[in-house]
Chains A and B, each alone.
Chain A
Amino acid sequence: MESPKDYYKILNVSKTAKADEIKKSYRTLARKYHPDLNPNNKSAEDKFKEVSEAYEVLSDDEKRKIYDAGGMDPRQQYTGQQPPYYQYTQSNDNSRYRDIFRDAFGDFDFEDLINQQTQRKTHRKSRQSFRGEDQIFQMDIDFITSVLGAEQTISLPTDDKLAVKIPAGVKTGQKLKLSGRGGPGFNGGPAGDLYIEIHVKPSTQYTRVGDNIEVEVPVLFSKALLGGSVRVPTMDGFVEVKLPLGISTGTKLRIKDKGIRKPQSPGDLFAVIKITLPKEITPELKEALKVWQETQPNSQEEAKQ
């Protein structure tokens, strides 16, 4: 008869070792010899089996007692090791896991995976039905769409088309939730949710400030002094705005309700005036200005005002 193996020696612990010592040593050895990390290495696999066997006996108080007493061979109680995972994936042409990453992610992108993980929500359901996976997609929209809102049809990587209502005032980073449009549920479980993360392409012309929009409007200095009107671009065409007398650079003229078009409380659009000078100063203009300047008592004081 084969002499019983020395499980203590296998696990590299003393006969008086405490449970946590045994566990620690088992972890260290199992890490080293794990068959899935040493595929096709027979000696590592044998060693792993041996270590697991020893741990199964020594980690169980009952079995350990029997073993210590030199009683019945505790290996009779040992459930035995199943083949390691890699053997299934190598021998089975129909392995469902080999191609998972292609099915689930199309062109596999590691960053996507990590992003999905951080955004995934876990849900608990009754024990045999499972909620579908939440999915998240990114979507770029124009600035004007973020102001006015719109309904857009998007194509998902799964080739499905989906009508998405983009509310006015949506911001970069905001996620639109489409309940039940994520991954299918399993065994009667509900489908997951689909999230569309919005990225608003910035405008070169407009700046968003809360629910208001600012747009810079150049005004020739003469118009600023003499009065007149300017054309201010808005999301739906130009609006003619009368200039109050004596405006200067930075003055903001409000155009009501032309900002973010929130249905209940639309924001305003502000024309931010920028006084400009003519490209060419004609002798007549120079002369006129000289005459004006001479009427000013102190031009330094003027600048301070």
Chain B
Amino acid sequence: MSKIEFSLVCEELNLEENTLTRWVESRLIHPVDTDGPYFDEEDVARLRLMMHLKDIYEVNDPSLEVILHLVDQIHHLSAELKKIKS
């Protein structure tokens, strides 16, 4: 997976640096921490979803956290389900 730097992520997604800092600090996004924060494609896809929730659905940060935790749980459960089925 490719690694993308902090400022590049902001540029590519047109995301404010303050917002990304806030999201990382509140652990909504977990950059890879080898040699400084790097974001991989999954992080970027997650950030894109977060931006959609923020911009399209007008979700605020506390609600965003709740939604993401639910999304994480659903993904976790559906992966577990897949394992059981196979």
Interface residues of A (CB under 8 A from B): 26-27, 30-31, 34, 36, 82-90, 92-93, 95-102, 104, 108, 110, 113-114, 117-118, 120, 122-125, 127-128, 130-131, 133, 183, 186-187
Contact = CB atoms under 8 A, between A and B. Distances in A.
Given A117-B65, A130-B21, A130-B24, 7 more contacts: A27-B56, A84-B45, A84-B49, A85-B46, A85-B71, A89-B79, A130-B25
Given A85-B46, A97-B46, A127-B6, A108 B33 contact: no
Question: When A and B form their complex, which 9 residue pairs have the shortest distance between CB atoms, in order from nearest?
Answer: A89-B75, A85-B49, A88-B42, A85-B45, A98-B76, A30-B56, A117-B62, A130-B25, A88-B45
Interface in B17-75: 17-18, 21-22, 24-27, 30-31, 33, 36-37, 41-42, 44-46, 48-49, 52, 56-57, 62, 65-66, 69, 71-73, 75
A184 to B, nearest CB: 10
Contacts of A131: 25
B69 A113 contact: yes
B77 to A, nearest CB: 9
Given A88-B42, A89-B42, A186-B37, A127 B17 contact: yes
B30 A82 contact: no
Contacts of A83: 45
A90 B22 CA distance: 26
B52 A30 contact: yes
Contacts of A82: 41, 44-45, 48
B66 A31 contact: no
B49 A133 contact: no
Given A30-B52, A131-B25, A98 B65 contact: no
B33 A186 contact: yes
B26 A97 contact: no
Interface of chain B: mostly helix, strand, loop or mixed: helix
Interface residues of B, number: 37
Contact of B69 (A90, A101, A127): A101
Nearest to B44: A82
A268 B44 CA distance: 62
B33 to A, nearest CB: 6
Contacts of B46: 85, 88, 97
A34 B56 contact: yes
Contact of A104 (B7, B27, B45): B27
Given A117-B62, A127-B17, A131-B25, A97 B75 contact: yes
Contact of A187 (B17, B37, B78): B37
Contacts of A89: 42, 75, 79
Nearest to B18: A124
A100 B72 contact: yes
8 contacts: A26-B56, A98-B72, A113-B65, A127-B6, A128-B36, A133-B26, A183-B27, A187-B33
Nearest to A192: B25
Which of A30, A85, A102, A133 is most buried by chain B, counting CB atoms within 10 A of its CB?
Answer: A85
Given A30-B52, A125-B21, A131-B25, A96 B30 contact: yes
A120 B36 CA distance: 25
B13 to A, nearest CB: 10
Nearest to A118: B62
Nearest to B62: A117
Nearest to A55: B56
Which of B37, B41, B72, B73 is most buried by chain A, counting CB atoms within 10 A of its CB?
Answer: B72
